[in-house]
């Protein structure tokens, strides 16, 4: 019996470890972030005057590292080298200055390093290293779980015939390049902070990401996820800065969310983000050039993307600068760029590196050759989709509206409008309406889950035209029933509540008021939700005023939510 019990426990443990990987979606380990404060007072001075840190062991293995320091430290030239898990040091890498105008250095890919060393032209103040691990290798336990889950996923994918899918967007274009979608690199772990904004693509801006060029093709997805987490959580941006990322093997990744075929505003060139699309090449190309595969993929992507927006790939374009601290041109200046430009053309940076900058004529020539096959066909009509509020609290309804016109702007009266889920092969219609005499339309939509929507209109010729997608985020309704106003310390009492729509679990947060009259969290208790209701038993260890709240962390279907706060006093017996 003991042997059977042990086998059952082992089987249960394996099932628990493997469960997150049993999906047809690509397996992506959970990314984590952490930081480390460095004291630069003990650094040594090199013969060339640069300040060199001692070897610094990171708290955990890291895949990406960036730096932040006090603004008074200026913008020192900063180099870093990292040590991998086998004890090998890579070469010194020049870190780019913060593109957002802050005080720090842009992150570099380290790929499972456990230590690092810095060289800086000035000794910084308040220096802090920011890390991301996106490969599930931060600790020994993480590495065991990742190995088991990857093996389970590979076996499941083989049995089910599932494989990573590349999306081939083709509205108005032919033979578009294969683009790896966000779900394949873990984009659900880097959900945008807000709905996308849209501009008017007039040119393409080329970057490099500044990291070692020795990564393997299977590393690229983790690199993209790491950059996204750093941009969103450390830089405080809405999402990853680039619209697309290209690796040295010619793989193209969807970057900022909002639709690869849309004019999504990114953070690729300060002062020009509303009129450009950004393509970052993964690697450092200050001395080493990009590979032939990477050059070809960049050229093909820009040939398709610019043609899609009716923009030539050759020649120049004049745009107006919107200014900014890293912009080379003042606000309001009229600036001329090549249609395929380098980041350094617009901003004060060495990006995309001297070697890759020298390859831009080759990229422009290849793009010009490819552009005719991506000739854009003007749609038979236009339809818009907008909403005054795209973040909803269930069961709040989305208020949607728009306008449908012919290609020359004449209103489409009485045209049927379908509100559909965007990005699916089969059309999933959630609501229908009809345009008014002036082509305008409106509709209410109640949805349990967050959706990416688009409006589809049928024009007189019978053709269907689609709007740009609109992301509607739905937060569940979390209700915490009023607990007793007074309870006895160290005696259990019951907490109940509801969650709608139904999700599997919530967290009960317990905070105690301290002598500073502020509430400090003393417990976070996971609670299962069954049929939309949850119940748990709680005890408060000390006599004091307490605050209870229930939180839902958010997942692929719903955004995060929390209940109202409830207060109660624990008293001594």
Give which of 286, 134, 155 is closest to 219, Cα–Cα. Answer: 134
As a whole number of angstroms, the distance between CA 78 and CA 53 comes to 11
pLDDT at 354: 93
* Confidence category of residue 148, pLDDT binned at 50, 70, 90: confident
User: Where is the domain boundary, 420, 449, 474?
Assistant: 474
Dihedral angle computed from the Cα positions of residues 42, 47, 49 and 51, in that order, rounded to the nearest 10 degrees? -30
- Identify the three-state secondary structure at position 153: helix
> Does position 103 have pLDDT exceeding 70, yes or no?
yes
Residue 164 in contact with residue 26, Cβ under 8 Å?
yes
Same domain, 21 and 153: yes
Percentage of the chain modeled with pLDDT above 90: 57
Residue 405: strand pairing partners: 382, 411
Q: What is the mean pLDDT of residues 96-114?
A: 81
User: Where is the domain boundary, 446, 474, 502?
Assistant: 474
pLDDT at 175: 55
Asked if residue 169 is part of any domain, the answer here is no
Provide the CATH number for the domain around residue 513.
2.60.40.10
Average pLDDT, the chain: 86
> Does position 156 have pLDDT exceeding 60, yes or no?
no
Distance separating the N- and C-terminal Cα atoms of the chain: 45
User: Where is the domain boundary, 414, 443, 474?
Assistant: 474
> Does position 176 have pLDDT exceeding 80, yes or no?
no
Residue 563 in contact with residue 479, Cβ under 8 Å?
yes
> Does position 4 have pLDDT exceeding 70, yes or no?
no
Listed in sequence order, the residues at least 6 apart from 224 whose beta carbon sits closer than 8 Å to its beta carbon are: 185, 186, 240, 245, 253, 255, 282
pLDDT at 11: 42
Residue 61 in contact with residue 167, Cβ under 8 Å?
no
As a whole number of angstroms, the distance between CA 418 and CA 466 comes to 9
Asked if residue 139 is part of any domain, the answer here is yes
Same domain, 466 and 482: no
DSSP-derived secondary structure letter, 426: S
pLDDT at 407: 77
Provide the CATH number for the domain around residue 449.
2.60.40.2470
pLDDT at 172: 43
Long-range Cβ contacts of 16-23 (<8 Å, 24+ apart): 17/145, 17/148, 17/149, 17/152, 18/148, 18/149, 18/152, 20/149, 21/149, 21/150, 21/152, 21/153, 21/156, 22/152, 22/153, 22/156, 23/153, 23/156, 23/162
State pLDDT tens for residues 550-563: 999 888 789 899 99
pLDDT at 188: 86
> Does position 496 have pLDDT exceeding 50, yes or no?
yes
As a whole number of angstroms, the distance between CA 565 and CA 567 comes to 7
Same domain, 484 and 464: no
Asked if residue 102 is part of any domain, the answer here is yes
Same domain, 65 and 117: yes
State pLDDT tens for residues 107-125: 888 888 999 999 999 888 8
Listed in sequence order, the residues at least 6 apart from 176 whose beta carbon sits closer than 8 Å to its beta carbon are: 168, 169, 170, 304, 374
> Does position 358 have pLDDT exceeding 70, yes or no?
yes
Same domain, 56 and 80: yes
pLDDT at 15: 43
Encoding tokens for residue 37? 């404060």
Asked if residue 168 is part of any domain, the answer here is no
558 CB neighbour count, 10 Å cutoff = 20
pLDDT at 25: 53
> Does position 158 have pLDDT exceeding 70, yes or no?
no
Same domain, 89 and 119: yes
Encoding tokens for residue 129? 């290293």
Is pLDDT larger for residue 71 or for residue 107? 107
Give which of 95, 193, 183, 189 is closest to 133, Cα–Cα. Answer: 189
Asked if residue 145 is part of any domain, the answer here is yes
> Does position 17 have pLDDT exceeding 80, yes or no?
no
Listed in sequence order, the residues at least 6 apart from 112 whose beta carbon sits closer than 8 Å to its beta carbon are: 61, 62, 63, 84, 85, 135, 137
Q: What is the mean pLDDT of residues 217-222?
A: 89
pTM of the predicted structure, to 2 decimals: 0.67
pLDDT at 74: 66
Give which of 395, 177, 155, 185 is closest to 306, Cα–Cα. Answer: 177
State pLDDT tens for residues 163-174: 444 444 444 445
Is pLDDT larger for residue 407 or for residue 37? 37
Residue 441: strand pairing partners: 402
> Does position 57 have pLDDT exceeding 80, yes or no?
yes
Encoding tokens for residue 559? 């955004």
pLDDT at 160: 46
Asked if residue 146 is part of any domain, the answer here is yes
Same domain, 361 and 405: no
Same domain, 431 and 357: no
Provide the CATH number for the domain around residue 241.
3.40.80.10
> Does position 294 have pLDDT exceeding 90, yes or no?
yes
pLDDT at 343: 95
pLDDT at 203: 95
Same domain, 114 and 246: no
Asked if residue 315 is part of any domain, the answer here is yes
> Does position 149 have pLDDT exceeding 80, yes or no?
no
488 CB neighbour count, 10 Å cutoff = 15
Q: What total of structural domains would you count in the chain?
A: 4
> Does position 51 have pLDDT exceeding 90, yes or no?
yes
Asked if residue 327 is part of any domain, the answer here is yes
Q: Which domain covers residue 401, as residue numbers?
A: 381-474
* Confidence category of residue 404, pLDDT binned at 50, 70, 90: very high
State pLDDT tens for residues 359-372: 999 999 999 999 98
pLDDT at 146: 79
As a whole number of angstroms, the distance between CA 77 and CA 105 comes to 9
Q: What is the mean pLDDT of residues 274-278?
A: 93
* Confidence category of residue 142, pLDDT binned at 50, 70, 90: confident
Q: What is the mean pLDDT of residues 474-479?
A: 96
Q: How far, in Å, are 33, 70, 129, 466 from residue 38 at the CA level?
A: 17, 12, 7, 52
pLDDT at 567: 94
Same domain, 116 and 84: yes
Same domain, 8 and 146: yes
DSSP-derived secondary structure letter, 126: S
Same domain, 319 and 400: no
């Amino acid at each position: 019996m003991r042997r059977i019990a042990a086998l059952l426990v082992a089987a249960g443990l394996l099932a628990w470890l493997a469960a997150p990987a049993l999906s047809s979606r690509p397996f992506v380990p959970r990314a984590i972030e952490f930081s480390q404060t460095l004291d630069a007072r003990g650094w040594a001075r090199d013969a060339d005057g640069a300040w060199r840190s001692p070897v610094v062991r990171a708290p955990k293995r890291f895949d990406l590292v960036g730096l932040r320091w006090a603004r008074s430290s200026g913008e020192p030239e900063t180099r870093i080298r990292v040590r991998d898990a086998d004890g090998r040091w890579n070469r010194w890498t020049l870190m780019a200055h913060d593109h957002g105008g802050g005080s720090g250095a842009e992150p570099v890919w380290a790929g499972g390093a456990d230590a690092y060393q810095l060289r800086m032209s000035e000794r910084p103040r308040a220096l802090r290293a920011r890390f991301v691990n996106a490969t599930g290798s931060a600790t020994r336990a993480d590495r065991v779980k990742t190995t088991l889950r990857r093996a389970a996923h590979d076996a499941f994918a083989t049995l089910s015939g599932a494989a990573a899918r590349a999306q081939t967007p083709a509205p108005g274009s032919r033979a578009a390049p294969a683009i790896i979608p966000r779900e394949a690199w873990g984009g659900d772990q880097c959900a945008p902070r807000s709905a996308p904004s849209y501009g008017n693509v007039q040119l393409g801006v080329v970057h490099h990401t500044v990291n070692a060029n020795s990564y393997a093709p299977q590393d690229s997805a983790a690199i993209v996820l790491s950059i996204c987490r750093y941009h969103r959580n450390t830089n405080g941006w809405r999402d990853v800065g680039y619209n697309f990322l290209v690796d040295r093997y010619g793989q193209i990744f969807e970057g900022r969310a909002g639709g690869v075929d849309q004019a999504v505003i990114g953070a690729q060139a300060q002062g020009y983000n509303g009129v450009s699309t950004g393509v970052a090449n993964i690697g450092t190309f200050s001395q080493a050039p990009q590979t032939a595969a990477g050059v070809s993929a960049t050229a093909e992507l820009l040939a398709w993307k610019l043609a899609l927006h009716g923009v030539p790939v050759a020649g120049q374009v004049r745009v107006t600068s919107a200014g900014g601290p890293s912009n080379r041109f003042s606000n309001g200046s009229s600036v001329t760029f090549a249609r395929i430009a380098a980041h350094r053309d617009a901003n004060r940076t060495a990006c995309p590196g001297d070697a890759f900058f020298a390859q831009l004529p080759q990229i422009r020539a290849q793009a010009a050759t490819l552009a005719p096959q991506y000739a854009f066909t003007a749609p038979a009509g236009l339809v818009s989709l907008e909403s005054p509020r795209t973040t909803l609290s269930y069961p709040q309804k989305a208020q949607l509206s728009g306008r449908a016109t012919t290609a020359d702007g004449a209103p489409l009266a009485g045209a049927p409008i379908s509100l559909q889920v965007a990005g699916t092969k089969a059309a999933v219609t959630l609501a229908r309406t009809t345009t008014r005499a002036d082509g305008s339309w409106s509709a209410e939509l109640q949805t349990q889950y967050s959706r990416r929507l688009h409006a589809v209109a049928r024009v007189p010729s019978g053709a269907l035209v689609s709007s740009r997608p609109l992301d509607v985020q739905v937060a569940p309704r979390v209700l915490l029933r009023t607990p007793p106003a007074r309870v006895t310390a160290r005696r259990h009492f019951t907490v109940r509540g509801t969650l709608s729509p139904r999700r599997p679990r919530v967290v009960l947060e317990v905070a105690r008021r301290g002598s500073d009259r502020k509430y400090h969290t003393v417990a976070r208790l996971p609670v299962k939700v069954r049929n939309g209701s949850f119940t748990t038993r709680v005890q408060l260890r000390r006599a004091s005023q307490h605050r209870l709240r229930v939180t839902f962390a958010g997942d692929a279907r719903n955004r995060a939510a929390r209940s109202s706060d409830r207060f109660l006093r624990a008293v001594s017996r």
